[in-house]
Structure 1
Amino acid sequence: MEYRLLGRSGLAVSEVCLGTMTFGNTTSESDSIEMIHRFLDAGGNFLDTADVYVGGRSEEIVGKAVKDRRSEVVLATKVRFQTEQHPNGVGISRKHIMDGVDASLKRLGTDYIDLYQMHVWDHATPVEETLRTLDDLVSSGKVRYIGCSNFLAWQLMKSLAYSDYSRFVRYISIQPQYSLVSREMDREIMSLCMEEQVGVIPWAPLGGGFLTGRYTKEEPSSGRLTAKTGESSWAYRATEKNFAILEEVQKAARELDKTPAQVALRWLIQQQGITSPIFGASTLEQYEDDMGAVGWTMPQEIWDRLDEVSALPSEYPTRFIQKFRRPL
């Protein structure tokens, strides 16, 4: 296992992060704890959860699993979505953040969170309110670092600028959807993160399971991609381009004697600007398969093939800017 610094910080995280969204739901408590222990024993130190995963049950299981190994773990959780049925039980206002962090700390059984992330932008709350609250949490010791998730480029840059102007702590990471079949952040967010030294910890690195190779062109009757709408819907994933990407992934897997999941994850690990992809597993077998993405290097020629087939089309203004780039 290799380690990388998370954004503009001295925090070292493993090259892959174990996501826990299924813990306490499709993954039993015993298998969840076993998975975390195997991950830590393999050198992984980065765990990601959220207050809304399985109604808080995921945080409880994670806390139980790391209770005796807390100091070696970089523990990340998130706040933003509805956790209580009243008007202030949602968002990233000072009230909801303060209520949320205390609830998460209790469920996790710890007195601090290493990385506290805003799960999605909140148009109702002024950015200065959110960032002042997060700065107070870091000063209090309840939170060590802060991050965001599912932000647009302008939302991230506005937050960073306000933090710098006010001398508040700044986001050291962003958690976006990113994979061979979801490269929208290449338009603006990736270059922003590299410029501002913001770590990138992608979710859905296997495209909701699409890149595992388990799906054909026939609409599935089971699995995550049976959703009717949203990021995990079949209509969103089942495009001709995505099947061309999958074909290239499967070809690379045969050449490298790896599984498609391992190839897709490894491509992402080696992508410039990526810190630590978040992979999830419902079973111990899936976990072992995904962990096969670490400990080796994909040949550049194969990496380039995957990059080419999955790249976004040339678009304005990026195309225009590149055309007139000064050769310095």
Structure 2
Amino acid sequence: MKKIKIGETDLNVAPINLGGNVFGWTLDEKKSFEILDAFTDKGFNFIDTADMYSYWVDGGEGGQSETIIGNWLKKSGKRNDIVLATKVGGETGVHPVDTSKKHILEAVDKSLQRLQTDHIDLYYTHFDDEKTPVEETLEAYDEIIKAGKVRYIAASNISPDRLEASFAASEKNGLPKYQALQPHYNLLERADYEAKYAPLADKYNLTVFPYWSLASGFLTGKYRSEDDLGKSVRGDSVKKYLNEKGLGVLKALDQVSEKHNTTQATVSLAWLMAQTHIGAPIASATSERHLGTLFEAPKLKLDQEDLQLLDKASK
């Protein structure tokens, strides 16, 4: 399987990034282990989580996902085979968005303890509090990189201006640079990334790992009317897509998936992979059947007719 090099790092990842947000939320530890085993047994090596997952279950600090992944890493012995990404700074039930040095230095140790590892391969600024000087945030990262706790850093929900300021501060002060970007990007959410962030990915050689790649499951095609919203705990979050554009995208996905004898989800991920700068779309799975649709995506090569049809429907 062809691997993707992340930015200017020595990290090489398979073209699907397994989202760990469901671990400790819709999946218990036993089922999570089954998903992680099946994913890695197929040669995929990139796992994404965050310190805040899944605080919404009990309104606490979070950490359930990291804990499950840590237990799995210990049981499986696969830590050296995995590129492990987690995040800091997100809001939970007990603390607000925080990218201060104090918070980062405390949070990284908690993540390492839960993950049962001595280092994190890719550490994201999950959300930006927009008040901590970017230099302070980067100085914290510099400290934990030098301590061997983190290898490289990346950015997720940061404004274009603050992202630019971060690169300027890195250059001026010899501080670590973000190597990857994790934006909200999929067939139904294109405008913000393509207008504001794609030029920065190009300028700074950022590898892009889109989250909500399947629009909370809408792009799987299982939500066609309001009657379908009760099919999962995510139903309410896709109601906004039940409009002319959303249904038009599903129609295009139906056409392309039928042509290639595959699923709408596989086509949606293949479309992302065909876009410039995209490394590995992030997608979660709650069953081995779901994983199968992810595994097929890197094999599917959409032709120009497919891409034009999807582009027209999703603009």
TM normalised by structure 1 equals 0.88
Aligned-pair distance for 1:171? Answer: 0.5
The equivalent of 1:19 in structure 2 is 19
The secondary structure found in structure 2 opposite 1:221 is helix
The equivalent of 2:57 in structure 1 is none
Cα separation, 2, equivalents of 1:52 and 1:85: 10
Deviations 1:174-196 (A, max 9, x none): 11111001112001201210121
Check the 8 A contact 2:181/2:209 in 1, yes or no. yes
Aligned-pair distance for 1:64? Answer: 1.9
The code of the aligned residue for 1:65 comes to: W
Q: In the alignment, is residue 289 of structure 1 matched against residue 293 of structure 2?
A: yes
C-alpha distance 123-79 of structure 1, shift in aligned 2 (>3 A): same
Map 1:22-101 → 2, pairs under 5 A:
22-54=22-54, 55-67=62-74, 68-82=77-91, 85=94, 90-101=97-108
Cα separation, 1, equivalents of 2:238 and 2:300: 32
Structure 1 unaligned blocks of 5 or more: 312-328
The code of the aligned residue for 1:168 comes to: L
The secondary structure found in structure 1 opposite 2:226 is coil
The secondary structure found in structure 2 opposite 1:294 is helix
Q: In the alignment, is residue 163 of structure 1 matched against residue 185 of structure 2?
A: no
The secondary structure found in structure 1 opposite 2:85 is strand
Q: In the alignment, is residue 110 of structure 1 matched against residue 117 of structure 2?
A: yes
Aligned-pair distance for 1:90? Answer: 4.6
Q: In the alignment, is residue 268 of structure 1 matched against residue 266 of structure 2?
A: no
Check the 8 A contact 1:209/1:224 in 2, yes or no. no
Aligned length: 304
Bigger shift: residues 29-38 or 291-300:
291-300
Cα separation, 2, equivalents of 1:233 and 1:9: 36
Check the 8 A contact 1:31/1:284 in 2, yes or no. no
Cα separation, 1, equivalents of 2:310 and 2:274: 12
Cα separation, 2, equivalents of 1:141 and 1:224: 39
Cα separation, 1, equivalents of 2:107 and 2:257: 43
Q: Which among 222, 227, 244 is matched to residue 248 of structure 2?
A: 244
C-alpha distance 304-8 of structure 1, shift in aligned 2 (>3 A): farther
Aligned-pair distance for 1:274? Answer: 0.5
The secondary structure found in structure 2 opposite 1:205 is coil
Q: In the alignment, is residue 143 of structure 1 matched against residue 150 of structure 2?
A: yes
Aligned alpha-carbon RMSD (Å): 1.6
Structure 2 unaligned blocks of 5 or more: 55-61
Cα separation, 1, equivalents of 2:215 and 2:205: 25
Check the 8 A contact 2:217/2:238 in 1, yes or no. no
Q: State percent identity of aligned pairs.
A: 38
Cα separation, 1, equivalents of 2:138 and 2:298: 35
Q: Which among 179, 185, 193 is matched to residue 172 of structure 1?
A: 179
Bigger shift: residues 136-145 or 8-17:
8-17
